[in-house]
Amino acid sequence: MEIRLKREDIDLLDTGKKIIPGTDGNAVFGSLDRDYIEVLIYDLNENFLDSGRVDASDFVYNEPQIETLPDENQRAIGGGVKINTGNILRKLGYDRGKFIVKYNFLRTLAGSNETLLVDEDSNVVPSLTDTGENNFHQMSDGTLMSGPVHTDGSIELSIKENKYFIQEISPTRNEIRLAPQNINDTSYRENFFATQTGKKTQLFPNIGGFLGSDEQETDLALSTTYKFNDSGVSVPNELKGGVFQIDNSYVESETNLAIQSDSGVDTQSEVIGEEIIPRFIITDISTGQYRKGDRNISAIHNYFKDFLPTETPDRTGIEYMDRSQGMRGIKKIDNAFQPVEVNTAQSPGNNTIVTFRSISTKPDVTMKYTWEIGGYDVKGNGDYRTIEAQDVAIVGSSDPRGISGNDLREIQVELKSRGARYSVGLTIDYPAENKTATVYYPAVIKEPNGV
């Protein structure tokens, strides 16, 4: 059925401001890609039958002429929208009969009916290349990857709707609260906030400079005149009275630090308590190999600590290779978990060494510690395979993927593979009282060459 705004709701939403289409930056309908027409079909008794969206090919926009009046106001003359009514009805299956047809002329303010391609950091990736090719391809397991064809530089993509979700519905069910998704796109976020604040942000090319009073580069310290080098840049009248901001205006140079410092590690030790609560951190990484991520593993611990390794927690940002393996089947987690990113080497004896230290809570007695290393490596074609002996080694252990010992609070792990994601687990046993507890951190370490 058709639902329209009630009179009292219109009164609440009405700002009292008059807008003349085509003036002061208020584009006339049909001149923007965000404009569309909704068609509503009724029988002769005004019983609602159907609705649809008019194809762009079924209406034509004619540009009006803008006249400036003596009082400096403006008005639009002529122009308008012509609609192919017959074609619209036929496309909806109404080729015979008499109907009452209504049209709503709408403009999308935020979001759209389209989908977006995003990387693991939720950055939007263009769906087409500069030459018009699809900027993505699909692997044999269904995974979407960037680029028309697979290369070593391809990254994994996911699909998100260009929409906002309903976060909460009021008890009266008369109001809803909307919230944006985790999509790193300026237009997506700013269009959402603009619908609430009425404020609009518009980006311009930062190519130009201030002019002095004589329109030359003099007296620039006091200048309030900025001129774009590109004569085609147009500033709409609706931005009058707004704020003009120049990003990085005081930046004179940049230094690219490819590898971040290896600092900020919580070096606390284990805590004496009645319960066994396993937890560990990364205390050391081979010099110069640490890139980014939380070596205290806080976000990963806080989410996964309540799950057993056999369970399959589901949350945005977790991807499985084999769900039957529980958490051991997780092939990757996104950057919201702040996994630790390190470089690994390829030559024997020069591989990256990572030190894990237990900061568990436990009774002050001798206990058995069992460490396990798992994860997945990425092949050249983008497929994943289980970590094997050629990819990892535990210093002092004949088993490259596991080691046990009494009070074995610290281990060193040698990372051998480029592009791998390593998972680490710790089980603490107290056989005397038949107590045991396990914590498992999936994909806690990743190598930047992986997808």
**pLDDT tier at 290 (50, 70, 90 boundaries)?**
confident
Instruction: State if pTM tops 0.75.
Output: no
d(CA 277, CA 438): 8
Residue 128 has pLDDT above 80, yes or no: yes
What residues does 61 pair with on adjacent strands? 81
Task: Determine the pLDDT at residue 301.
Answer: 93
3-19 pLDDT, tens digit each: 566 677 666 666 666 55
- Taking CA atoms, 129 is separated from 33, 133, 264, in Å, by 21, 5, 40
As a whole number, mean pLDDT of residues 239-259 equals: 65
Task: Determine the pLDDT at residue 444.
Answer: 95
Q: Please, which residues have CB within 8 angstroms of residue 339's CB and are 6 or more apart in sequence?
A: 293, 300, 333, 421, 443, 444, 445, 446
Lowest average pLDDT, out of 197-201, 229-233, 373-377, goes to 197-201
67-78 pLDDT, tens digit each: 777 877 777 777
CA 241 to mean position of chain CA atoms:
33
Sign of CA dihedral 324, 326, 328, 329: positive
114-123 pLDDT, tens digit each: 889 999 888 8
With beta carbons less than 8 A apart as the criterion, state whether 59 and 31 touch: no
User: Which residue's entry shows tokens 């002092």?
Assistant: 396
Residue 264 has pLDDT above 60, yes or no: no
Residue 79 has pLDDT above 80, yes or no: no
d(CA 391, CA 359): 26
- For the chain, the farthest-separated pair of C-alpha atoms sits apart, in whole angstroms, at 96
**pLDDT tier at 368 (50, 70, 90 boundaries)?**
very high
As a whole number, mean pLDDT of residues 56-60 equals: 87
- Torsion, CA 350, CA 355, CA 356, CA 359, rounded to 10: -170
Which run of H or E residues covers position 439? strand 435-446
Using left for φ > 0, alpha for ψ between -120 and 50, and beta otherwise, residue 183 falls in beta
Residue 405 has pLDDT above 90, yes or no: yes
Using left for φ > 0, alpha for ψ between -120 and 50, and beta otherwise, residue 30 falls in left
Amino acid (1-letter code) at residue 78: G
d(CA 120, CA 155): 8
As a whole number, mean pLDDT of residues 266-286 equals: 85
Say if residue 398 is exposed, middle or buried (CB neighbours under 10 Å; 0-12, 13-18, 19+).
exposed
Mean pLDDT of the chain, nearest integer: 82
